């Protein structure tokens, strides 16, 4: 069961009903030991309980009683082993004693706690703190005044649980200058970018201010990098200090899990009141479609600005209506959780090869080595990017995008660009060994509607792991599946089949549109064999210095799709029946096999 606990003073649920006597004596009963000649009058005036006109007292303290007999609901709200506090205001017409009783009503009248107080003529506040050792089927809270005939007055009775101050968990992210974690990229979902500023009240260190945008997406929020990873295998509980003037409910997530740890969400809330409070939340319930419970090591943390108490989605049913997004501002600090060991992230030993395509032939989506002049105009990013590390060990900078597909994909928008003059889109990738299946490269167009068009490594071509691999795709492949090349809008990479079950790290670099192919004919060139045209539409020509005895063509799955005996130095192969895509051609020349890739348009 998901829960959020607030640890602070001044906020707790009062179990007593009508403790201020604003409802008269409702929920209260009285007892006088008439068998011992004791009598009196009890009424409520001036929002106080007045016990007056006492006669015959002086024997036993229990001969005069003002009680609240607890209902079954009140009893069920008590937890054995927890600490509780009773407070009340009281005075006497003159100095006199009063005993507080809390315990069993009937039976043996077993006391959980009794305490004597000496009242004065001035209304004063009294309190008693105790542990509820057990509960009983019938219970009461009472005031006993049978030792004196002096009138007494009771008001503002409370019974509250004393919040358990959790053992302080280790700090995994604060917002001081010494912290190495912090805000990871821009806010998402059209939420305002959080800012760091000096706190107020009891926390004047640097804190993070989060502001909601009522016109933004319901899932708006911010990604954070933890300074120290958390390990939620044994315990799924974390804490965070929160300040808010108004009541707020929000959603938090642990992200960037070390495979196979998947993103998990938890609901949290703050009751308002302009105080700093430590909110405790546990990642053990499935929310926002995320699995549960959390298990493993995580290095990222997300705060979604809006959520609803008891909710499971950013949209309510029926009608798929977004959750409310009122104006709100709150502050957070000191995110704590069980310490984890920094994960060992698979990393390529070298950066991706520097592209050789000339500037005049390139529309660069992502590249930091060539200073291309025609580039994707990044307005925003979306999803979760693990990091953007510099993979060059020298002083030269050569970065790559690092994806953790056990968490999410990541992409950028928005261009609304015409890329129809380009012939190919390409990128370099390095996938960690044992990455399952592959991943998706997606071009998104907006031509009267936003549509996604997928090239899936592992489906459209075999996945290669542990080394850099260039993928080059004819633009005709994408236009053939509906991509509007005159309205290029966004791009992204995401897990295989869009499922985080296909977890693992992939580095991607040098994403670009090019006029001409960048694929080399290394094997053919070494044999002085010419292959043209690239790409091929109907005929693929081969010229060799010796007889080309046989030609075989294989698709990206390694399946043979064509095999011809040629026995000629100049060969034309009819490839018009092949679907668009990338193929491998193998030519047997003088008993030796030369091979290369070609593109069928």
| Nearest C-alpha neighbor of 596 from the set 523, 516, 533 | 523
pLDDT at residue 524, rounded to an integer: 62
**Phi and psi (nearest 5°) for 523?**
-65, -45
Region for 53 from its dihedrals, namely left if φ exceeds 0, alpha if ψ lies in -120 to 50, beta otherwise:
left
* CATH code of the domain in which 387 resides: 2.60.120.430
For residues 505 and 338, give the distance between their C-alpha atoms in angstroms, rounded to a whole number. Answer: 24
Is the distance from CB of 427 to CB of 509 less than 8 angstroms?
A: yes
Residue 192, beta-bridge partner list: none
The DSSP secondary-structure symbol of 192 reads P
Note whether 154 and 177 are same-domain residues. Answer: no
Mind giving me the DSSP string for 442-502?
EEEEESSSEEEEEEEETTTB---BSSEEEEEEEHHHHHHTT--TTSEEEEEEEEGGG-TTS
Note whether 243 and 300 are same-domain residues. Answer: yes
Is the distance from CB of 65 to CB of 30 less than 8 angstroms?
A: yes
Note whether 116 and 189 are same-domain residues. Answer: no
For residues 162 and 130, give the distance between their C-alpha atoms in angstroms, rounded to a whole number. Answer: 9
Is the distance from CB of 322 to CB of 278 less than 8 angstroms?
A: no
The angle formed by the CA atoms of residues 408, 414 and 418, to the nearest 5 degrees, is 125
Note whether 416 and 480 are same-domain residues. Answer: yes
Q: Report mean pLDDT in 10-residue bins for the chain, 601 residues.
A: 34 84 96 96 94 96 97 92 92 97 94 96 94 94 97 95 73 84 78 90 89 95 90 93 94 85 91 90 91 90 93 83 94 93 86 94 96 94 89 93 88 93 94 93 95 92 90 87 96 92 91 82 62 87 88 80 91 92 83 79 84
Note whether 501 and 554 are same-domain residues. Answer: no
Is the distance from CB of 161 to CB of 17 less than 8 angstroms?
A: no
Per the structure, the complete domain to which residue 534 belongs is given by 522-600
Query: Considering the domain boundaries, does residue 353 fall inside one?
Result: no
Domain count, the chain: 4
* CATH code of the domain in which 18 resides: 2.60.120.260
pLDDT at residue 53, rounded to an integer: 97
Note whether 542 and 400 are same-domain residues. Answer: no
Query: Considering the domain boundaries, does residue 187 fall inside one?
Result: yes
**Domain stop point among 161, 187, 214:** 161
Note whether 116 and 28 are same-domain residues. Answer: yes
Query: Considering the domain boundaries, does residue 75 fall inside one?
Result: yes
Peptide bond into 533 cis (omega under 30): yes
**Phi and psi (nearest 5°) for 225?**
-100, 130
558 CA to centre of own chain: 40
| Nearest C-alpha neighbor of 440 from the set 403, 381, 493 | 493
Residue 212 neighbours by CB under 8 Å, 6+ apart: 191, 192, 220, 305, 306, 325, 326, 327, 328, 329
pLDDT at residue 519, rounded to an integer: 64
Q: Which two tokens stand for residue 480?
A: 């053939």
Note whether 425 and 538 are same-domain residues. Answer: no
* CATH code of the domain in which 595 resides: 2.60.40.3080
Query: Considering the domain boundaries, does residue 381 fall inside one?
Result: yes
Note whether 130 and 151 are same-domain residues. Answer: yes
Measured over the CA atoms of residue 110, residue 113, residue 119 and residue 123, the dihedral's sign is negative
The DSSP secondary-structure symbol of 526 reads H
For residues 301 and 179, give the distance between their C-alpha atoms in angstroms, rounded to a whole number. Answer: 15
| Nearest C-alpha neighbor of 484 from the set 517, 455, 448, 457 | 448
**Domain stop point among 161, 184, 214:** 161
Residue 182, beta-bridge partner list: 225
* CATH code of the domain in which 203 resides: 2.60.120
The DSSP secondary-structure symbol of 331 reads E
Note whether 75 and 210 are same-domain residues. Answer: no
Note whether 371 and 488 are same-domain residues. Answer: yes
pLDDT at residue 2, rounded to an integer: 33
Query: Considering the domain boundaries, does residue 318 fall inside one?
Result: yes
Q: Which two tokens stand for residue 423?
A: 């012939």
Query: Considering the domain boundaries, does residue 350 fall inside one?
Result: no
pLDDT at residue 4, rounded to an integer: 37
The DSSP secondary-structure symbol of 360 reads G
Mind giving me the DSSP string for 529-574?
-EEE-SSBSSEEEEEEEEEEEEEEEE-TTS-EEEEEEEEEEEEEEE
Note whether 489 and 466 are same-domain residues. Answer: yes
| Nearest C-alpha neighbor of 386 from the set 297, 228, 260, 504 | 504
pLDDT at residue 526, rounded to an integer: 53
**What residue has token string 């092949």?**
578
Query: Considering the domain boundaries, does residue 351 fall inside one?
Result: no
Is the distance from CB of 212 to CB of 328 less than 8 angstroms?
A: yes
**Domain stop point among 129, 161, 193:** 161
Query: Considering the domain boundaries, does residue 349 fall inside one?
Result: no
Determine which helix (DSSP H) or strand (DSSP E) holds 523, and give its type and residue range.
helix 522-526
């Amino acid at each position: 069961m998901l829960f959020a606990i607030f640890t602070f003073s001044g906020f707790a649920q009062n179990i007593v009903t009508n403790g201020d006597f604003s409802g008269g004596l409702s929920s209260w009963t009285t007892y006088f030991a008439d068998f011992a000649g004791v009598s009196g009058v009890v009424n409520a005036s001036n929002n106080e309980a007045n016990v007056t006109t006492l006669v015959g007292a002086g024997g036993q303290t229990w001969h005069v009683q003002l009680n609240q007999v607890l209902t079954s609901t009140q009893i069920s709200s008590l937890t054995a082993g927890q600490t509780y506090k009773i407070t009340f205001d009281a005075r006497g017409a003159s100095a006199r004693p009063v005993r507080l009783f809390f315990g069993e009503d009937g039976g043996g009248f077993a006391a959980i706690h009794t305490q004597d107080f000496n009242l004065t003529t001035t209304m004063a506040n009294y309190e008693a703190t105790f542990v509820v050792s057990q509960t009983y089927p019938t219970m009461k809270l009472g005031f006993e005044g049978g030792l004196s005939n002096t009138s007494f007055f009771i008001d503002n009775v409370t019974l509250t649980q004393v919040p358990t101050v959790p053992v302080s968990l280790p700090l995994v992210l604060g917002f001081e200058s010494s912290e190495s974690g912090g805000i990871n990229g821009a806010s998402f979902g059209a939420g305002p970018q959080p800012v760091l500023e000096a706190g107020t009240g009891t926390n004047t260190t640097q804190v993070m201010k989060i502001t909601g945008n009522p016109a933004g997406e319901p899932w708006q929020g911010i990604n954070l990098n933890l300074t120290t990873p958390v390990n939620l295998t044994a315990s799924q509980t974390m804490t965070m200090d929160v300040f808010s003037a108004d009541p707020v409910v929000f959603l938090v997530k642990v992200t960037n899990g070390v495979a196979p740890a998947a993103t998990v969400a938890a609901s949290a809330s703050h009751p308002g009141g302009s105080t700093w409070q430590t909110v405790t939340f546990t990642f053990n319930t499935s929310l926002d479609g995320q699995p549960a419970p959390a298990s493993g090591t995580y290095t990222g943390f997300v705060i979604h600005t809006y959520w609803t108490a008891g909710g499971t989605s950013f949209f309510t049913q029926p009608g798929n209506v977004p959750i409310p997004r009122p104006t709100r501002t709150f502050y957070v600090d000191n995110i704590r959780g069980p310490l984890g060991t920094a994960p060992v992230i698979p990393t390529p030993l070298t950066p991706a090869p520097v592209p050789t395509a000339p500037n005049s032939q390139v529309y660069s989506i992502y590249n930091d080595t060539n200073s291309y002049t025609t580039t994707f105009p990044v307005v925003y990013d979306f999803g979760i990017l693990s990091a953007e590390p510099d993979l060059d060990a020298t002083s030269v900078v050569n970065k790559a995008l690092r994806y953790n597909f056990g968490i999410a994909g990541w992409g950028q928008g928005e261009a609304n660009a015409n890329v129809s003059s380009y012939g190919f889109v390409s990128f370099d990738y390095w996938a960690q060994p044992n990455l399952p299946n592959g991943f998706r490269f997606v071009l998104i167009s907006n031509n009267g509607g936003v549509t996604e068009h997928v090239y899936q490594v592992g489906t459209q071509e075999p996945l290669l792991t542990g080394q850099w691999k260039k993928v080059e795709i004819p633009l005709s492949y994408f236009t053939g599946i509906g991509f509007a090349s005159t309205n290029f809008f966004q791009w992204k990479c995401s897990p295989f089949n869009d499922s985080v079950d296909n977890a693992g790290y992939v580095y991607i670099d040098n994403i670009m549109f090019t006029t001409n192919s960048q694929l080399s004919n290394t094997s053919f060139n070494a044999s002085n064999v010419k292959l043209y045209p690239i790409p091929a539409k109907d005929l693929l020509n081969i010229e060799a210095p010796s007889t080309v005895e046989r030609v075989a063509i294989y698709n990206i799955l390694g399946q043979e799709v064509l095999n011809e005996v040629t026995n000629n130095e100049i060969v034309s192969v009819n490839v018009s029946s092949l679907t668009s895509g990338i193929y491998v051609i193998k030519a047997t020349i003088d008993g030796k096999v030369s091979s290369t890739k070609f593109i069928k348009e």
